[in-house]
C-alpha cells in the first residue's frame, strides 16, 4: 500500500509540474494574444497562436482528467487505509486480551507450581529429617484428642520451625483455642561447656550451630500459612527469658505439650524449672535429644531431667514412646 501511495504522490507531483509548465506557456500565449490585439503580430503568429490555444485546451482537459483520476484513486486508498486501521485496532485489542489471559494463566500456573513444590518438600521432609518428629507429633495429636489436657504447645529450641510449623499445622485445627509458643535464642546454640564438653566431647554440638534469626523463623511460619495471631515467639537465652517475672513468658499458662529440643544439658534446667508449675496430669514432655551424648544418663537432657525430678519429687513421669534415634516422650503422671 505504501508503494502505491508513493507512486500516486509522485504522479501528482509530475502533474503539478506539467500544470506549472502549461501555465508558463499560457502566459506566453497571453503575451502573443496581447501583441495581436495591439496589432503588432503577424498573420503566421496568429495562426500559431490559434493552434497553440487548441493544443493547450486539449492538454488542459487531459491533465484535468488525470487529476480527477488521481483524486479518485487517493480517495479509494484512504478508504482502504481506514478499513485496514480499524482491522489493525481490532487485532491489537484481541492481542491485548490474549496477553491478559496468558498472564493470568501464568500467575495461576506459578501458584500451582509453588503449591506442588511445597507439597514435594513436605513429602521429602516427611521421608527425611523430620520424619520421626512428625510421626511423634501425629501420636501427640491422637493422644491429646482423648486426653483432654488443658494448655498450649511450647517448643524450646525451634531453629527454622520445621517441627514447630508441623505442630501448628496439625494441632491448630483440632484445638482452636491452643496457642503456640516458640522459645529460642535465635542465635544458635551457646558454647558447649561443663558436662556438654567433658574431655572435649560435645556430642557433635557447637557454638552458634542452628542459628536462625527470629525474622527468618517468622517468615517460614507465614509461608507455611500459619495463623500468626496464635503464635508467640520469646527470643533470648533460656536462663534470661524463662521466668515468672519475664513480661512474656511470665504471663504464659498451662502446658499441654512441651517439645524440648535444645540439645545441651546446660540449656535444659531453665526449661524444666519453667515448666514445673505449668504442668497438669497428662501433659506431654517430648525430649528430642534424650539419647544424645552416647545415651548416657549423666549427660544432656537425661541428666537435666533426672536432676529436675530429684528437685521436684511431686512430679512423676510415665514412659510414653520413643521417636527417632534420640527422642523420648513422657506423660506427666503426677505434678502436685
x/- map, 238-267, ligand SAM, by CB under 6 A: x----------------------xxxx--x
- Angle at Cα 178 formed by Cα 173 and Cα 183, nearest 5°? 115
Q: Binding residues for ligand SAM, how many (CB under 6 A)? A: 19
Q: Binding of ligand SAM at residue 214 (CB under 6 A)? A: no
Q: What residue number has its CB nearest to ligand SAM?
A: 157
Q: How far is the CB of 98 from ligand SAM (least distance, A)?
A: 47
**Interface with ligand SAM (CB under 6 A), residue from 188, 312, 316, 322:** 188
Cell readout for 270 is 531453665
Q: How far is the CB of 111 from ligand SAM (least distance, A)?
A: 27
**Interface with ligand SAM (CB under 6 A), residue from 134, 154, 180, 210:** 210
- Determine the Cα–Cα distance for residues 151 and 179; give it in Å rounded to an integer: 8
Q: Binding of ligand SAM at residue 303 (CB under 6 A)? A: no
Q: Residues near 224 by Cβ (< 8 Å), separated by ≥ 6?
A: 161, 165, 168, 169
What are the C-alpha distances in Å from 107 to residues 101, 103, 118, 120, 324? 10, 6, 17, 20, 40
Q: How far is the CB of 166 from ligand SAM (least distance, A)?
A: 9
What are the C-alpha distances in Å from 322 to residues 140, 280, 311? 12, 21, 25
- Determine the Cα–Cα distance for residues 176 and 195; give it in Å rounded to an integer: 41
Q: Which span (111-119, 183-191, 221-229, 328-336) binds ligand SAM, by CB under 6 A?
A: 183-191
Q: How far is the CB of 107 from ligand SAM (least distance, A)?
A: 32
Interacting positions 122-181 with ligand SAM (CB under 6 A): 133, 157-159, 162-163
Which has the closest alpha carbon to 292: 205, 200, 198?
Answer: 205
Closer CB to ligand SAM, residue 241 or residue 331?
A: 241
Contact criterion met (CB below 8 Å) for 190 and 294: no
**Interface with ligand SAM (CB under 6 A), residue from 137, 167, 179, 185:** 185
| Pure H helices in the chain | 2-37, 43-127, 131-147, 162-172, 214-223, 238-241, 268-276, 300-311
**Interface with ligand SAM (CB under 6 A), residue from 151, 190, 192, 326:** 190
Closer CB to ligand SAM, residue 11 or residue 188?
A: 188
Residues within the interface to ligand SAM (CB under 6 A)? 133, 157-159, 162-163, 184-185, 188-190, 210, 237-238, 261-264, 267
Amino acid at each position: 500500500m505504501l508503494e502505491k501511495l508513493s507512486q500516486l504522490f509522485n504522479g501528482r507531483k509530475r502533474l503539478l509540474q506539467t500544470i506549472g509548465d502549461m501555465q508558463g506557456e499560457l502566459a506566453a500565449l497571453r503575451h502573443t494574444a496581447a501583441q495581436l490585439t495591439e496589432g503588432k503580430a503577424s498573420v503566421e503568429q496568429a495562426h500559431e497562436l490559434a493552434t497553440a490555444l487548441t493544443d493547450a485546451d486539449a492538454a488542459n482537459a487531459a491533465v484535468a482528467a488525470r487529476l480527477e483520476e488521481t483524486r479518485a484513486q487517493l480517495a479509494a486508498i484512504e478508504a482502504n487505509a481506514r478499513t485496514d486501521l480499524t482491522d489493525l485496532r481490532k487485532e491489537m485489542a484481541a492481542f491485548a486480551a490474549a496477553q491478559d489471559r496468558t498472564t493470568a494463566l501464568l500467575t495461576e500456573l506459578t501458584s500451582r507450581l509453588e503449591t506442588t513444590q511445597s507439597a514435594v518438600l513436605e513429602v521429602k521432609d516427611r521421608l527425611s529429617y523430620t520424619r520421626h518428629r512428625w510421626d511423634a507429633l501425629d501420636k501427640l495429636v491422637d493422644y491429646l484428642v482423648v486426653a483432654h489436657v488443658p494448655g498450649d504447645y511450647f517448643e524450646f529450641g525451634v531453629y527454622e520451625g520445621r517441627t514447630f510449623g508441623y505442630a501448628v499445622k496439625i494441632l491448630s485445627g483440632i484445638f482452636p483455642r491452643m496457642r503456640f509458643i516458640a522459645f529460642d535464642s535465635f542465635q544458635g546454640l551457646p558454647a558447649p561447656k561443663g558436662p556438654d564438653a567433658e574431655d572435649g566431647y560435645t556430642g557433635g554440638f557447637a557454638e552458634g550451630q542452628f542459628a536462625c534469626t527470629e525474622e527468618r523463623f517468622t517468615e517460614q511460619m507465614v509461608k507455611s500459612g500459619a495463623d500468626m495471631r496464635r503464635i508467640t515467639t520469646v527470643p533470648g537465652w533460656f536462663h534470661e527469658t524463662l521466668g515468672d517475672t519475664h513480661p512474656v513468658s511470665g504471663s504464659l499458662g498451662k502446658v499441654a505439650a512441651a517439645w524440648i529440643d535444645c540439645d545441651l544439658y546446660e540449656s535444659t534446667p531453665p526449661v524444666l524449672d519453667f515448666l514445673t508449675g505449668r504442668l497438669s496430669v497428662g501433659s506431654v514432655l517430648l525430649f528430642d535429644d534424650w539419647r544424645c551424648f552416647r545415651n548416657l544418663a549423666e549427660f544432656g537432657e537425661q541428666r537435666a531431667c533426672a536432676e529436675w525430678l530429684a528437685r521436684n519429687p511431686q512430679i512423676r513421669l510415665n514412659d510414653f514412646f520413643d521417636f527417632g534415634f534420640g527422642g523420648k516422650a513422657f506423660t506427666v503422671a503426677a505434678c502436685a
